[in-house]
Structure 1
Amino acid sequence: MFAALRRLSVRQWSLAGLAFCVLMMLVALGLEHIGGLEPCPLCIFQRIAVLSAAAVFIVAAIHNPQGRLGPVIYGGLLLAAVLGGIGVAARHVWLQSLPPDQVPSCGPGLGYMVDVLPMQDVVAMVLSGSGECAEIDFLLLGISLPGWTLIGFIMLALAPLGILYRSVRGLWP
């Protein structure tokens, strides 16, 4: 099985990663538009991380670089996007685990912050969390949506790691 994974091209890894990104976005949009769950600011940032990874997966699949440099660049960009998503999702899970008296107070909405504040301040305020991000609206098998998103990002990390492994495997005997 591992021999088969080592033979996958950058295009194949990228298409698999892209398919997983599409699945993650379909679930998120389905829960929002069909299930009626409104995304909080941290949820929006997690979606941005998924879309960022998807964009790089598309370019990598189209380009299908050979050799070592191209796959290392794509693998690094993908890993950065996925690690950003892991960080935001982990922060969201942590906020949800806080006792109610330690949850940050609710701040202004994301739309208002984007309109009024510089982007650096918006990012800092969103990542500091707010009360709405600490609410648990949905559980599946005892795991909240940010917990499932964290699991999804960890699984998604396999694609850039596969691309990176494929590009450097010839460096070792």
Structure 2
Amino acid sequence: MLLNAIAGAPRRTLALMSAVCVAMLAFGMYLQHVVGLEPCPMCIVQRYALIGVAVCAGLASARAQKGWWMSWGVLALGLAGFGAFTAARQSWLQWFPPEVATCGRDFYGMIENYSLSRAIPMIFRGSGDCTAIDWTFLGGSIANWSFLWFTLFGLVLLVLLLRRGQV
């Protein structure tokens, strides 16, 4: 029944997914600018992945042509998988922090001062900031909740692409 509701109206489902992504981004901005939490490099990467999912899902919902929304849906699925991977890596760092935790450079500082081939591994290496759990909800950190949402988005996109792609 739930699968039929998801696959029955792909454009509405994609528009809702885009709206949820925008709400999550707004909440992240609230945590940063009102509560005062500083995002770590992995949080920033997850934020970019969330922006990508929102944009791709929004564009997918804009037109009824099957090829159009399926193409954007595939891109959104890839970005959701990338976001889930990054959030899972951060959750793992939070559960099993490295013995030597150092505060790393911020994301923009890394990109501005290092070549891309050197900055990307630095981003995913994780710093002391990425292991800190500054906010929790129902026992889960921001990275845990981010992983759950990216996984949910990925599953919904997979259902849409597999069930509606056959029609």
Q: 1:159 maps to which residue?
A: 156
Matched, 1:124 2:136: no
The CA distance in 2 between the partners of 1:71 and 1:57, in whole Å, is 8
In the superposition, the TM-score normalised over structure 1's length comes to: 0.86
Q: 2:31 maps to which residue?
A: 31
Once the two structures are overlaid, the 10-residue window that deviates more, 130-139 or 104-113, is: 104-113
Q: 1:78 maps to which residue?
A: 76
Q: Which amino acid aligns with 2:159?
A: G
Percent of aligned positions that are identical: 33
Cα deviations by residue, 1:31-80 (Å, 9 ceiling, x for unpaired): 111211111110000000000111111211222322xx444322211110
Cα deviations by residue, 1:83-127 (Å, 9 ceiling, x for unpaired): 0000000010011111452x5433222222111112232221111
**5 Å matches for 1:25-104?**
25-66=25-66, 69-99=67-97, 101=99, 103-104=100-101
1:85–1:153: 8 Å Cα contact kept in structure 2? yes
Structure 1 residues 3 and 146: alpha-carbon distance in aligned structure 2, compared to 1, 3 A threshold: closer
Matched, 1:114 2:111: yes
1:71–1:164: 8 Å Cα contact kept in structure 2? no
**Runs of 5+ consecutive residues of structure 2 not aligned to the other structure:** none
The CA distance in 2 between the partners of 1:137 and 1:6, in whole Å, is 37
Q: Which amino acid aligns with 1:155?
A: L
Task: Say which one has the larger Rg.
Answer: 1
In the superposition, the TM-score normalised over structure 2's length comes to: 0.89
Q: CA RMSD in A?
A: 1.8
